[in-house]
């Protein structure tokens, strides 16, 4: 079995490679990183290597967290991420930003794609990891 860690700064490119590689017999993508620095980041990558060498199945999250890039976000997406991190619902975000709930949904969809989040829980984690919100705020 060939195991692969993908590293590319474009989420869509990584997704395409992952789908293509995982469709091939004998190849498994075990993780993704947004750049080379993230690809060699400490405990998770080393744990994957050690797990693989021991012969255990490698199970990695969809991407290695901790360095999710926020510089590709628009100002509005950053506001939405901060409000999500603060536990606000889409309706509450719409009220806070004086925009429609459908516009919030569009921002959330774009935001999730850019940060590699599947759901609001992962977006909250990114908001905390990047210091956009702190406990108790």
Q: Which position has the token pair 């950053």?
A: 78
pLDDT band at 80 (very low <50, low <70, confident <90, very high): very high
Write the burial class of residue 22 (CB in 10 Å: 0-12 exposed, 13-18 middle, 19+ buried): exposed
pTM for the full predicted model:
0.53
Mean pLDDT of 22-26: 87
Query: What is the per-residue pLDDT across 53-67, written as a single tens digit (0 to 9) for each?
Result: 666 554 444 444 445
Q: Is the confidence at residue 95, as pLDDT, over 60?
A: yes
Closest C-alpha to 63, from 95, 20, 18: 18
- What pLDDT score was predicted for residue 62? 43
Q: Is the confidence at residue 2, as pLDDT, over 50?
A: yes
């Amino acid at each position: 079995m060939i195991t692969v860690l993908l590293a590319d700064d474009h989420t869509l490119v990584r997704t395409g490679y992952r789908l293509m590689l995982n469709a091939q017999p004998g190849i498994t993508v075990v993780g993704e990183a947004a750049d080379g620095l993230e690809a060699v980041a400490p405990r998770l990558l080393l744990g994957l290597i050690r797990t693989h060498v021991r012969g255990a199945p490698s199970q990695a999250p969809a991407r290695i967290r901790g360095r999710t890039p926020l510089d590709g976000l628009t100002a509005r997406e950053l506001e939405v991420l901060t409000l999500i991190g603060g536990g606000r619902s889409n309706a509450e975000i719409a009220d806070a930003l004086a925009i429609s709930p459908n516009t919030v949904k569009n921002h959330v969809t774009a935001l999730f794609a850019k940060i590699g989040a599947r759901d609001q829980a992962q977006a909250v984690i990114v908001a905390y990891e990047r210091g956009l919100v702190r406990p108790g705020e």
